[in-house]
Amino acid sequence: MEPRDLSNHTPYRAGGGIEEVARELGLDPDALIKLSSNENPFGPSPLAVTAIREAATASSVYPKAGHADLTAALADRFDVDPAQVWLGPGGDGVLDYLARAMLDPGDRVLVPEPGFAYYPMSARYHHGEVDHYTLSKAEAFEQSAETLLDVYDGHRIVYVTTPHNPTGSEMSLEEIETLAADTDDDTLVLVDEAYIEFSDRPSARRLLDERDDVAVMRTFSKAYGLAGLRLGYGLVPAPWADAYERVTTPFSVSTLACHAGLAALDDHDHVERTVETARWAREYIHEELATHTWHSGGNFVLAEVGDAEAVAAATQRAGVIIRDCSSFGLPECVRVSCGTREMTETAVETLNEVIGT
Ligand SMILES: Cc1ncc(COP(=O)(O)O)c(C=O)c1O
């Protein structure tokens, strides 16, 4: 007995966890600063924590009402029909649902390189074939419709990440619209807005009123600080929004996640503090880090350091966990997530010492 042929499936490699690194280095976890997974340095929204406590006693019941309430709140916020809101276990789950809804076996998808590892994984699980478009380092990882259209060949899904992980570059709404207009009618432009709250640019949500070939993926993992709960959502065009009921795993979002998400949506203070601090931190890193960095619209900054694996390991030994970007195909770069002011200052100081030695 064996699983199906998984030889072209690559396991997802997450940034190092604080407990695991502390154990490995024999350090106190409290002495470590973790800036490797673009998490919220202020933790979860305090209103969400209260909601989780209160909802805990309802954990014996399937989350039908919670699901409906969160969907309605998001529909209200984005001025769409509730059917257009696809809840999922993290943005990753939403990517899976969109792949389930769109891909027939052998359909091709187009993903960015460097880029978020789960796009090709998800497409392959759903029997899709994967092609890449390159965001060129020489051009500061600039994102334009032309970059994709140069290699586009009737793909069923094209994935756009804005702000882009791990580079921080962004694609303007005009370029996304050009891309959608210049690809086939049955090509879905999937806009991953995991980091959009940190950006000054408008969401691709507004394209949904005019087009049926653009979908938006969002998450509660970053600005709302709920990465551990696994909660994300898609916003999809009305004409095919009912596909959700055919592809979703039943009750895929937990009661606790639904209640936490509802509370976090209204926790404006928490989101504001998170976003303001991230904007300060990315400028601070950009200005103070003694090496080349790229402008970022997200809550992280990409930096060129030479041997990323060695630099990330040395920085980690000095108590700051950052992301070695070798797995993104950038073995000379590290990605530093935005921390609180104190965490960010310590990280920059530590990294500067490591680079300078
Ligand atoms: C670009 C991008 N998309 C999607 C995700 C998935 O987020 P989650 O599944 O935690 O919602 C991440 C997580 O880091 C990401 O960086």
Ligand 1 centre to CA of 161 (Å) is 10
| Ligand 1 centroid distance, CA of 19 (Å) | 21
Tell me the per-residue pLDDT of 105-147, one tens digit each, with 9 for 90 and over.
999 999 999 999 999 999 999 999 999 999 999 999 999 999 9
Q: Is residue 322 over pLDDT 80?
A: yes
pLDDT single digits (tens) 2-37: 998 888 888 887 766 888 888 888 888 888 999 999
Question: 92 CB under 6 A from ligand 1?
Answer: yes
What is the 3-state secondary structure of the chain?
A: CCCCCCCCCCCCCCCCCHHHHHHHHCCCHHHCEEECCCCCCCCCCHHHHHHHHHHHHHCCCCCHHHHHHHHHHHHHHHCCCHHHEEEECHHHHHHHHHHHHHCCCCCEEEEEECCCCHHHHHHHHCCCEEEEEECCHHHCCCCCHHHHHCCCCCCCEEEEECCCCCCCCCCCHHHHHHHHHHCCCCCEEEEECCCHHHCCCCCHHHHHHCCCCEEEEEECCCCCCCHHHCCEEEECCHHHHHHHHHHCCCCCCCHHHHHHHHHHHCCHHHHHHHHHHHHHHHHHHHHHCCCCECCCCCCEEEEECCCHHHHHHHHHHCCEEEEEHHHHCCCCEEEEECCCHHHHHHHHHHHHHHHHC
The percent of residues in the chain predicted with pLDDT above 70, rounded, is 99
Q: Is the CB of 161 under 6 A from ligand 1?
A: yes
- Which pLDDT tens digit goes with each residue over 151-199? 999 999 999 999 999 999 999 999 999 999 999 999 999 999 999 999 9
Question: What's the CA-to-centroid distance between 132 and ligand 1, angstroms?
Answer: 19
pLDDT-derived band at 357 (thresholds 50, 70, 90) equals: low
pTM here is 0.97
Tens-digit pLDDT profile for residues 61-82: 999 888 999 999 999 999 999 9
